[in-house]
Chains A and B, each alone.
Chain A
Amino acid sequence: MTTHLNETTSFDADAQGWFGGPVEGFGGKFMPEALMKALDELDAAWKGAKADPEFVAEFDAILRDYANLPSPLYEAKRLSEQAGIRILLKREDLNHTGAHKIRNVLGQALLTKRMGKTRVIAETGAGQHGVASATAAAYFGLDCTVYMGKVDTERQALNVARMRLLGAEVIAVDSGSATLKDAINEALRDWVSSVEHTAYLFGTAAGPHPFPTLVRDLTRGIGDEAREQCLQQYGRLPDAIAACIGGGSNAIGLFTAFLEDPSVRIYGFEAGGDGFETGRHAATIVAADQGVLHGARTYVLQDEDGQTIESHSISAGLDYPGVGPQHAWLAKAGRATYEPVTDVEAMDAMALLARTEGIIPAIESAHALAGAMRIAPTLREELGPDATLLVNLSGRGDKDMGTAMEWFKLGDPDDETGDVSK
């Protein structure tokens, strides 16, 4: 199975990085002049690399031999019984480091080597992209610095330890709200000073052009594989596909291969936090307030003066007040549907998958599962019990066991509230 790095769709950005054009669309490159040359160089290097068969072959070999890809497409039979339709899971949780993110970092680090740079920097929220970046840096022998909000370093001490063990320097950021968006700000500040020898491994399909395109290209293997696997195993395309969305890299990675299949319905599930109506959420597309954040015009959680508002979600990986510009465009163009999933719904779905399939999903991925279970009755009603819904299981839940222990009160065997079967 080879990746389709160099394929295009009618929903791609133009040469300036606009999805849907500069007037009506999203994306662009709203960045300090000091970084424009580096962004242009990255754009040119990526165009060259993805058209180079040697680069593509090397990337594919690393994904296969090191990252355990392609990931299986698995029919979740017991979950399907509950859903009333066929549910297929794209098992990105089985990848090396436990999530889809390894695809992006290995690709960007390979590109870094090709560009002759010796150091990588990354931002991280919960630490997953940081761990993946530290892993890729170790694999390629690059220096690595990871910026992480101070609040997050305290919440995710285990991931800090992982990054350090992998040889990365972790810098706790205590400016602003001391979370993911501030880690991005600090990584950008580093990059302004170090751009000559340093590459910024951006963690999601957001940010200034070319990052939304670069990260999309590197993660689109999720959908390319799943589409081929579905055709091979079932002789047909799925009727619908679903993924969770924070910045949106796993979702765009799944969606891209299906964008030109009009029969396939596309769903993205954002973090609804305490409930969209409470205002404490990370459902950026549902809120639909246009702005510019971290280099791109997109949907942004912001106040009336354009100051960024902090997002809220039980899932650190979805807790971001912006979203990738291609998702904003897919929503506006009507090609994909985006809905919020609350913390409660996501945690219920986490327990459901654990008990029906013996798979503990990341809380991020549990948002996609919860959304899938929500739309399943409609699909069954319209298409019958043979309806097929493909869900991206973007990551495994080991990292979330602290949250799960607290949420389900799993720590004390004598406490029956921890028995999720009840």
Chain B
Amino acid sequence: MTTTSSAFATAKAEGRAALVGYLPAGFPDVDGSIEAIRTMVAAGCDVIEIGLPYSDPVMDGPTIQAAAQQALERGVRTRDVLRTVEAVAATGVPTLVMTYWNPVEKYGVDRFAADLKSAGGAGLITPDITPDYGQAWIAAADAHDLDKVFLVAPSSTDERIAMTTAACRGFVYATGVMGVTGGKQATTDVVGPLVTRTKALAPAGLPVGVGVGVSTGDQAAAIAAHSDGVIVGSAFVRAILENQGDKAAYLKALSTLTEELAAGVRRA
């Protein structure tokens, strides 16, 4: 079985960064999102993040908010997210869930970890908890052998980067901009120093993925030169939003975008 860290290791062995693709579950609908994500896997995503739609997503810009809201209005439930994980993980790609904290707490932290594991999920990316307030998740993840991906930001102090990376498993998610998803573009003058600091302070071998503010092949190439992985979310959501109602069109758009990004991470 491919784990998150082995997917990063494989990419590294090929002399490139890994491509991490994000879509929220249940968007445009549950089966549609499964097919969309499988298309992204087939076209070159090395790792998948499945978003758990939440009513109050403070780290997300308008694009992902709109997708999450649409999914919730159509009645997507936490159990649908787990079903999506199962269907995507069955392709063999490492599949993480990106979620705000409250739905996990409400589901039951240990129960969520157990059900995620049995669905074949690799772990969680948690944008609104940090290790110093995430003891419950850390304990459950360790008990169920799951990845813990916490975030570091350009504003993080060295002390906090050391603390955060020490608690990570799988990779550490470095936010490429001070801002929300789908807004400002990540630039190497911000990403470079953040990744350098993170590498210096993190346990040896922990991959650093860069997300937020990456949407094109050229940007992926630029960011790939400074990191172990490039994470793209809003651009995939946009590909569906712009072709909504036309499944063939959005699957094609997703496939084309994935290929462009996959070429980008190989160009660095």
Give chain A's interface residues, CB within 8 Å of chain B: 16, 22, 28-38, 175-176, 181-182, 185, 188-189, 192-193, 195-196, 291-295, 300, 302, 304-308
Q: Are B153 and A306 in contact, with the CB atoms below 8 A?
A: no
Q: Answer whether residue B35 sits at the interface, using C-beta atoms and an 8 A cutoff.
A: no
Of all chain A residues, the one with the shortest Cβ separation from B59 is: A32
Q: Are A193 and B77 in contact, with the CB atoms below 8 A?
A: no
Interface size class of B (residues with CB under 8 A): 35 or more
Q: Are B151 and A32 in contact, with the CB atoms below 8 A?
A: yes
Give the chain A neighbours of B103 by CB distance below 8 A: 305-307
Give the chain B neighbours of A185 by CB distance below 8 A: 56-58
Of all chain B residues, the one with the shortest Cβ separation from A306 is: B106
CA distance A395 to B159 in the complex (A): 44
- Please judge, given known A-B contacts A34-B155, A294-B56, whether A193 and B184 are in contact too, CB under 8 Å: yes
Of all chain B residues, the one with the shortest Cβ separation from A292 is: B102
CA distance A172 to B246 in the complex (A): 32
Q: Answer whether residue B130 sits at the interface, using C-beta atoms and an 8 A cutoff.
A: yes
Interfacial residues of chain B within 135-164, with CB under 8 A of chain A in the complex:
135, 150-157, 160, 164
Give the chain A neighbours of B115 by CB distance below 8 A: none
CA distance A386 to B221 in the complex (A): 78
- Separation in Å of the A5 CB from the closest CB of chain B? 26
Q: Are B175 and A34 in contact, with the CB atoms below 8 A?
A: yes
Q: Answer whether residue B178 sits at the interface, using C-beta atoms and an 8 A cutoff.
A: yes
CA distance A85 to B54 in the complex (A): 48
- Separation in Å of the A319 CB from the closest CB of chain B? 15
Give the chain A neighbours of B179 by CB distance below 8 A: 189, 192-193
Q: Are A193 and B157 in contact, with the CB atoms below 8 A?
A: no
CA distance A210 to B147 in the complex (A): 30
* B178 in complex: contacting residue of A30, A193, A294, CB < 8 Å: A193
- Please judge, given known A-B contacts A33-B130, A292-B101, whether A192 and B178 are in contact too, CB under 8 Å: yes
Q: Are A293 and B56 in contact, with the CB atoms below 8 A?
A: yes
Q: Which residue, of A38, A176, A308, has the highest number of chain B Cβ atoms within 10 A?
A: A176
Of all chain B residues, the one with the shortest Cβ separation from A181 is: B56
Q: Answer whether residue B203 sits at the interface, using C-beta atoms and an 8 A cutoff.
A: no
Q: Are A176 and B65 in contact, with the CB atoms below 8 A?
A: yes
Q: Are B56 and A308 in contact, with the CB atoms below 8 A?
A: yes
A-B pairs, top 4 by smallest CB distance, nearest first, are A306-B106, A34-B153, A306-B103, A193-B179
Q: Answer whether residue B72 sits at the interface, using C-beta atoms and an 8 A cutoff.
A: yes
- Please judge, given known A-B contacts A193-B184, A195-B178, whether A291 and B164 are in contact too, CB under 8 Å: no
- Please judge, given known A-B contacts A33-B150, A185-B56, whether A302 and B102 are in contact too, CB under 8 Å: yes
> Can you list 10 A-B pairs, Cβ within 8 angstroms, ordered by A?
A16-B132, A22-B135, A30-B101, A30-B128, A33-B152, A34-B178, A193-B179, A292-B102, A304-B106, A307-B72
Give the chain B neighbours of A189 by CB distance below 8 A: 58-59, 61, 179-180
Interfacial residues of chain B within 105-150, with CB under 8 A of chain A in the complex:
105-107, 127-130, 132-133, 135, 150
Q: Are B102 and A29 in contact, with the CB atoms below 8 A?
A: no
* B183 in complex: contacting residue of A34, A193, A196, CB < 8 Å: A193
> 1/0 per position for B34-73, CB-CB distance to A under 8 A?
0000000000000000000011111101100110010010
Q: Are B78 and A176 in contact, with the CB atoms below 8 A?
A: no
Of all chain B residues, the one with the shortest Cβ separation from A31 is: B128
Q: Are A29 and B57 in contact, with the CB atoms below 8 A?
A: no
Give the chain B neighbours of A302 by CB distance below 8 A: 102, 106
- Separation in Å of the B96 CB from the closest CB of chain A? 17
- Please judge, given known A-B contacts A193-B179, A307-B55, whether A32 and B102 are in contact too, CB under 8 Å: no
Of all chain B residues, the one with the shortest Cβ separation from A209 is: B133
Q: Are B58 and A307 in contact, with the CB atoms below 8 A?
A: no
* B156 in complex: contacting residue of A22, A37, A182, A304, CB < 8 Å: A37
CA distance A175 to B60 in the complex (A): 11
Q: Are B55 and A176 in contact, with the CB atoms below 8 A?
A: yes
* B164 in complex: contacting residue of A33, A292, A300, CB < 8 Å: A33
CA distance A291 to B177 in the complex (A): 29
Of all chain B residues, the one with the shortest Cβ separation from A177 is: B55
Give the chain A neighbours of B56 by CB distance below 8 A: 176, 181-182, 185, 293-294, 308
Q: Are A306 and B157 in contact, with the CB atoms below 8 A?
A: no
Q: Which residue, of A32, A188, A193, A300, has the highest number of chain B Cβ atoms within 10 A?
A: A32
CA distance A175 to B40 in the complex (A): 28
CA distance A304 to B69 in the complex (A): 17
CA distance A30 to B132 in the complex (A): 9
- Separation in Å of the A373 CB from the closest CB of chain B? 36
> 1/0 per position for B248-260, CB-CB distance to A under 8 A?
0000000000000
Q: Are A193 and B107 in contact, with the CB atoms below 8 A?
A: no
Q: Are A300 and B102 in contact, with the CB atoms below 8 A?
A: yes
* B105 in complex: contacting residue of A176, A188, A196, A291, CB < 8 Å: A291
Known: A175-B62, A182-B56, A305-B77. 4 other contacts (CB 8 A): A34-B155, A36-B155, A295-B128, A306-B105
Q: Which residue, of B56, B57, B77, B102, has the highest number of chain A Cβ atoms within 10 A?
A: B56
Q: Which residue, of B106, B107, B183, has the highest number of chain A Cβ atoms within 10 A?
A: B106
Q: Which residue, of A32, A33, A291, has the highest number of chain B Cβ atoms within 10 A?
A: A33
CA distance A22 to B130 in the complex (A): 14
Of all chain A residues, the one with the shortest Cβ separation from B80 is: A305
CA distance A195 to B127 in the complex (A): 17
Give the chain A neighbours of B135 by CB distance below 8 A: 22
* A175 in complex: contacting residue of B65, B127, B175, CB < 8 Å: B65
Of all chain A residues, the one with the shortest Cβ separation from B79 is: A305
Give the chain B neighbours of A181 by CB distance below 8 A: 56
- Please judge, given known A-B contacts A291-B102, A304-B106, whether A32 and B128 are in contact too, CB under 8 Å: yes
Q: Are A30 and B133 in contact, with the CB atoms below 8 A?
A: yes
Q: Are A36 and B160 in contact, with the CB atoms below 8 A?
A: yes
CA distance A329 to B184 in the complex (A): 40
- Separation in Å of the A287 CB from the closest CB of chain B? 14
Q: Which residue, of A38, A185, A295, has the highest number of chain B Cβ atoms within 10 A?
A: A185
Q: Which residue, of B55, B103, B177, B184, has the highest number of chain A Cβ atoms within 10 A?
A: B55
Give the chain B neighbours of A22 by CB distance below 8 A: 135
Q: Are A305 and B107 in contact, with the CB atoms below 8 A?
A: yes
Give the chain B neighbours of A291 by CB distance below 8 A: 102, 105-106
